[in-house]
Chains A and B, each alone.
Chain A
Amino acid sequence: MSDKKELQVAALKNGTVIDHIPSDRLFTVVSLLDLKHMDTNITIGNNFESKKLGKKGIIKIADRFFTDEEISKLSVVAPNVKLNIIRDYEVVEKKQVVMPDELKGIVKCNNPKCITNNEPMQTWFHVIDKEKGLLKCHYCEKEQLKDNIKLL
């Protein structure tokens, strides 16, 4: 592999770099951001060494900038990811993921007797405590911790 090719993968003129993704969550992040349906250059790397995480994943997306709402979805699976916003090869902004006030259609309710687990419909959670990751199902009203919850 030539130096030039490596550079082409590494450098991003404009776009977003998502860093510090836990390796086992990388493909979940890919699907939550719906990268499958983007047609710009996307580089996905995984199992890089990380002091904090052991192994981490990185995603570089050219010419795409996410709204806070779009990235807030990641708070459930990868709350510590860092986003670098690149313009003209420079990092112009760093963003962290903030837990949103509500989660719609992202996670599954833990309660087997909840209507959302028995009817073709979207789940809906109210975030009660962002620090603890405490969620309350809008429908069955059961409170649950995000760590115990499954993605849809």
Chain B
Amino acid sequence: MKTVNMENRSLVTIANHSKERILYLLEMAKEFEKKPNRRLLAEKVVATLFFEPSTRTRLSFETAANRLGARVIGFTDPKVTSSSKGETLKDTIMMVSNYADIIVMRHYLEGAARYASEIAPVPIVNAGDGANQHPSQTMLDLYSIYKTQGTLENLNIYLVGDLKYGRTVHSLLMAMRHFNPTFHFIAPTELKMPEEYKLYCKEHSIKYIEHTDFTEDTIADADILYMTRVQRERFTDLMEYERVKDTYILNSRMLEKTRPNLRILHPLPRVNEITYDVDESPKAYYFQQAQNGLYAREAILCDVLGITLDEVRADTNR
């Protein structure tokens, strides 16, 4: 068996990934899209530890592991909350490290994955740590953009809805810094893009324009429309919520003036921010986007275990 230096192979965040590294992982995802079923992780055990439930993410990772021939162990513990904790995270991680070759973990506490990666003898994949990072979501978003636009360079990306608390839009914004994007931030005043991310844009020469209105004219030049949920509980002023709740809803009529290459993304689950008539449009891409998560996660699992793009390309086993 090949030994790989496990140090720092963990995936905690892609915020610091270089352009080359991001493109490398996307190329690997592309290989898995061509052929998702491989035996690259045969005889490996993948543990999925969900300290907070997230059925979609867990199913996606477990499917990725299964399609790579790995066996999966793990738990989802909806009863574990910050108020009723038992064992320390460290003890759980050390115990599971005895059984598994890789740990995919989701945790309600921020920084949990970073800490786990520092103490675990096996690589950790962060499947979301509180409001902090969710790198596999960002990878699948990038892959979806890359695949539908043929490039990540020079795109007009419109982020719509809750830009204040939306972790996915923040990570996407940071990962896109290498590719000269123009961002449009469309949000109600209460949920607008936080200052720290606008500062980040300035520091990295990322162009952005802010809007509060969301109409067919606003989105006419969009290449990517990234929709998010506007949740009632995020508002301190409920009058404000009532006033804006129907403003950030996309319907098929609004797509009439849009570019032919436009694709609509959404991290799912949606509530009412995209009406069902949009599903029929060839521009609706959110279900395929979720499917891309499988390929992105297959690439992530292989990468953290030290399997290279060349090895994936050379793999011809059925």
State the A residues within 8 Å of B (CB): 111, 113-116, 118-121, 137-143
CB-CB under 8 A from A113, the residues of chain B are 82, 108-110, 130-131
CB-CB under 8 A from B196, the residues of chain A are 143
Asked if residues A139 and B111 are in contact (CB atoms below 8 Å), the reply is yes
Q: What residue in chain A is nearest B13 (Cβ atoms)?
A: A141
Docked complex Cα distance between A142 and B133 (Å): 12
Docked complex Cα distance between A8 and B133 (Å): 59
CB-CB under 8 A from A138, the residues of chain B are 111, 114
Which of B84-92, B270-278, B307-315 is the interface stretch?
B84-92
Q: Known contacts being A139-B115, A140-B132, is A115 close to B90, with CB within 8 Å?
A: no
The contact size tier of chain B is: 20 to 34
Asked if residues B90 and A121 are in contact (CB atoms below 8 Å), the reply is yes
B163 CB–A CB distance under 8 Å: no
Known contacts A113-B109, A140-B132, A141-B111; 20 further A-B pairs (Cβ under 8 A): A113-B108, A114-B110, A115-B107, A115-B109, A115-B114, A115-B129, A116-B111, A118-B85, A119-B88, A119-B89, A119-B109, A120-B90, A121-B115, A138-B114, A141-B13, A141-B110, A141-B132, A141-B133, A142-B110, A143-B196
Q: What residue in chain B is nearest A112 (Cβ atoms)?
A: B82
Q: Known contacts being A139-B115, A140-B130, A140-B132, is A111 close to B90, with CB within 8 Å?
A: no
* Chain A interface helix/strand/loop/mixed: loop
B112 CB–A CB distance under 8 Å: yes
The answer, among B13, B111, B131, B133, for a CB contact under 8 Å with A115, is B111
For residue B190, give the distance in angstroms from its CB to the closest CB of chain A.
Answer: 21
CB-CB under 8 A from B115, the residues of chain A are 115-116, 119, 121, 139
Asked if residues A118 and B90 are in contact (CB atoms below 8 Å), the reply is no
* Chain B interface helix/strand/loop/mixed: loop
Docked complex Cα distance between A126 and B313 (Å): 40
State the B residues within 8 Å of A (CB): 13, 82, 85, 88-90, 107-112, 114-115, 129-133, 196
Q: Known contacts being A140-B132, A141-B132, A143-B196, is A115 close to B88, with CB within 8 Å?
A: no
Q: What residue in chain B is nearest A137 (Cβ atoms)?
A: B111
Q: Known contacts being A140-B132, A141-B132, is A111 close to B110, with CB within 8 Å?
A: yes
- 6 shortest interchain CB distances as A-B pairs: A139-B111, A140-B110, A115-B111, A140-B111, A115-B109, A115-B112
For residue B194, give the distance in angstroms from its CB to the closest CB of chain A.
Answer: 11
Docked complex Cα distance between A120 and B114 (Å): 15
- Could you list 11 examples of A-B contacts with CB < 8 Å? A113-B82, A113-B110, A113-B130, A115-B114, A115-B129, A116-B111, A119-B88, A120-B88, A121-B115, A138-B114, A142-B110
CB-CB under 8 A from A143, the residues of chain B are 196
Q: What residue in chain B is nearest A141 (Cβ atoms)?
A: B132
Asked if residues A139 and B110 are in contact (CB atoms below 8 Å), the reply is yes
Docked complex Cα distance between A42 and B132 (Å): 46
CB-CB under 8 A from B111, the residues of chain A are 114-116, 137-141
For residue B186, give the distance in angstroms from its CB to the closest CB of chain A.
Answer: 26
Docked complex Cα distance between A143 and B107 (Å): 20
Docked complex Cα distance between A121 and B89 (Å): 10
The answer, among A115, A140, A141, for a CB contact under 8 Å with B89, is A115
Docked complex Cα distance between A32 and B111 (Å): 26
CB-CB under 8 A from A116, the residues of chain B are 111, 115
Most buried by A among B13, B90, B112, B196: B112
Docked complex Cα distance between A137 and B115 (Å): 12
Docked complex Cα distance between A113 and B115 (Å): 14
For residue A108, give the distance in angstroms from its CB to the closest CB of chain B.
Answer: 13
Asked if residues A118 and B82 are in contact (CB atoms below 8 Å), the reply is yes
Docked complex Cα distance between A113 and B107 (Å): 11
For residue B109, give the distance in angstroms from its CB to the closest CB of chain A.
Answer: 5
CB-CB under 8 A from A118, the residues of chain B are 82, 85, 109
CB-CB under 8 A from A114, the residues of chain B are 109-111
For residue B235, give the distance in angstroms from its CB to the closest CB of chain A.
Answer: 20
CB-CB under 8 A from B132, the residues of chain A are 140-141
The answer, among A111, A139, A142, for a CB contact under 8 Å with B114, is A139
Q: What residue in chain B is nearest A117 (Cβ atoms)?
A: B109
CB-CB under 8 A from A121, the residues of chain B are 90, 115
